Amino acid sequence: MKTRYDAIIVGGGVNGGAIAFNLAKRGLKVLLLEKGLLANKASGAAAGMLGAQAELDAEGPLFHLARTSRAMFSRLSDELKMISGVDIGLMNKGMLRLSLTDREHVEHCKISKIHKQNGEAAELLTGDEARKREQALSKEIRGAMYLENDGQVEAPKLAMAFLKAASALGTVVKEYVEVHSFYFSNERITGVATNDGDFMADNVVITGGAWSEKLLKHTGIHLDSQPVKGECFSVLAETPLLSSTIFTDDCYLVPKRGGRIIVGATVLPNTFNEQVTVEGLSFLMEKAKKLVPSISQCEWESAWSGIRPHTADGLPYIGEHPAYKGLFIATGHFRNGILLSPITGEVMADLIEAKTPSIDISPFRIERCMKKGNPIQR
Ligand code: FAD
Ligand code: GLY
């Protein structure tokens, strides 16, 4: 007789891995299905910034979720190393959100005040003070906000660490298995149909990233979401050029170990096309040279792209399907899925175990996709 699982996770990215890891730690029998290679989509393309303050609206509903998740990384890094053997490359050297104009500097003054009111560190620097901290910065930098608690990790390693740790704790992980549709009985999920046969479980979790919407159409809901392509490249500096991550709205530079720097990322909505283009790379190169002119002398390493899962209101979908018990969804993490993965894993495991999560997740409920005359279609 075929094994019946407590939970099937659909998608082997960082969020699928994080949920599988949390469920396996709690003793559940888990199966994770990935249609291609593990951690080979957005999670493998990400720059790894934990930019709760640099990237998110300091007053929006996502901010609290993000800073809770950011605070989980230090313990998680040790735990994942111990169970999976993978070092996720956690670095806590802060981020410098640069202002290039007076207007931006005034805006950053306001944001830094809000951060401080929320008990977060956010030091406002003049251009000279920023250059003192990071000597490679251009003379054109008007100022910066130094966010010492926004760290970074190696994103592909984090995703693989979750997946390996889940596997070490008993999760069965299968690559090249694509979920096509679902089985239901009395408005409860009972299993999934795949190219490798049927698999049965009491709970199914959709963590298919930008491809989740296509799959969820079989369950009668239409997520308000779209794919957004992002291209990146990396270079090698002979001696490390930067210590902190450099962030602007158009371009960021993330210094990794060994003098490697990731430069990202383009933002191209409405495409699943993963080609890296000359246009995308030349845009990033021009922006990066304006911020850090000496990057021109660095050795070329590589370029890649990934498809981010964006939602209409910019918030992820985290919760149970409105019509089917046991069918859960965790997607739409857009530009912050690496940062949000620890809390996503924990919250989803709580929901599956019918426990109340430690954090209010009502802004992320699935039902909001049905607002604009978008009913469930059975
Ligand atoms: P994915 O990583 O896309 O994984 C989904 C998986 O599901 C895929 O492997 C897919 O093959 C699989 N799948 C889909 N459908 C099926 C099916 N039917 N059956 C089986 N498997 C299926 N975030 C940050 O926090 N910090 C950053 O610095 C950062 N930088 C980024 C830079 C770039 C260039 C990009 C593109 C993204 C970046 N992000 C960053 C965002 C982050 O990468 C994503 O939010 C996150 O990886 C989403 O993870 P996921 O597991 O939900 O989706
Ligand atoms: N968070 C960085 C990106 O999505 O490009």
| CA 290–ligand 1 middle distance (angstroms) | 29
> Residues with Cβ within 6 A of ligand 1?
10-16, 33-36, 40-43, 45-49, 178-179, 207-211, 215, 230, 232, 264-265, 306, 308-309, 331, 333-339
Predicted confidence at residue 2, as pLDDT, reads 77
Q: Is the pLDDT assigned to residue 12 strictly greater than 80?
A: yes
Ligand that comes closest to the CA of residue 254 = 1
Question: pLDDT category, 174, cuts 50, 70, 90?
Answer: very high
Predicted confidence at residue 218, as pLDDT, reads 84
Q: Tell me the DSSP string of 35-64.
A: SSSTT-SHHHH---B--HHHHS-TTSHHHH
The predicted model gives 321-345 an average pLDDT of 97
Q: At what angle do helices 337-352 and 155-168 cross, to 10 degrees?
A: 30
The predicted model gives 11-28 an average pLDDT of 98
Which pTM value belongs to this model? 0.97
Q: What percent of the chain has pLDDT over 90?
A: 93
Which tens digit of pLDDT belongs to each residue from 216-244?
988 888 888 999 999 999 999 999 999 99
Nearest CA to ligand 2 atom 2: 335
Predicted confidence at residue 249, as pLDDT, reads 94
Q: Is the pLDDT assigned to residue 113 strictly greater than 70?
A: yes
348-357's contacts with Cβ under 8 Å and 24+ in sequence apart are 348/19, 348/22, 348/205, 348/318, 349/19, 349/22, 349/23, 349/25, 349/26, 351/319, 351/320, 352/7, 352/23, 352/28, 352/203, 352/205, 352/328, 353/26
Q: Is the pLDDT assigned to residue 58 strictly greater than 90?
A: no
Q: Report how far residue 160's alpha carbon sits from residue 126's, in angstroms, rounded to the nearest whole number.
A: 40
Which tens digit of pLDDT belongs to each residue from 118-135?
999 999 999 999 999 999
| CA 335–ligand 2 middle distance (angstroms) | 4
Ligand that comes closest to the CA of residue 330 = 1
Which tens digit of pLDDT belongs to each residue from 189-212?
999 999 999 999 999 999 999 999
- The conformational region for residue 125 under phi > 0 = left, psi -120 to 50 = alpha, else beta, is beta
Which tens digit of pLDDT belongs to each residue from 351-360?
999 999 999 9
| CA 316–ligand 2 middle distance (angstroms) | 15
Predicted confidence at residue 369, as pLDDT, reads 83
Q: Is 335 touching ligand 2 by the criterion CB < 6 Å?
A: yes
Residue 122: asked if its preceding bond is cis (omega within 30°), the reply is no
Predicted confidence at residue 60, as pLDDT, reads 86
Mean pLDDT of the chain: 96
Quickly count: other Cβ atoms within 10 Å of residue 79's Cβ. 15
Which tens digit of pLDDT belongs to each residue from 242-273?
999 999 999 999 999 999 999 999 999 999 99
Q: Is 337 touching ligand 2 by the criterion CB < 6 Å?
A: no
Question: pLDDT category, 371, cuts 50, 70, 90?
Answer: low
Q: Is 49 touching ligand 2 by the criterion CB < 6 Å?
A: yes
Q: Report how far residue 139's alpha carbon sits from residue 67's, in angstroms, rounded to the nearest whole number.
A: 32
Q: Is 251 touching ligand 2 by the criterion CB < 6 Å?
A: no
| CA 271–ligand 1 middle distance (angstroms) | 14
Question: pLDDT category, 376, cuts 50, 70, 90?
Answer: low
| CA 47–ligand 2 middle distance (angstroms) | 7
Predicted confidence at residue 372, as pLDDT, reads 60
Predicted confidence at residue 377, as pLDDT, reads 66
Predicted confidence at residue 370, as pLDDT, reads 76
The predicted model gives 308-325 an average pLDDT of 96
Question: pLDDT category, 47, cuts 50, 70, 90?
Answer: very high
| CA 169–ligand 2 middle distance (angstroms) | 31
Question: pLDDT category, 6, cuts 50, 70, 90?
Answer: very high
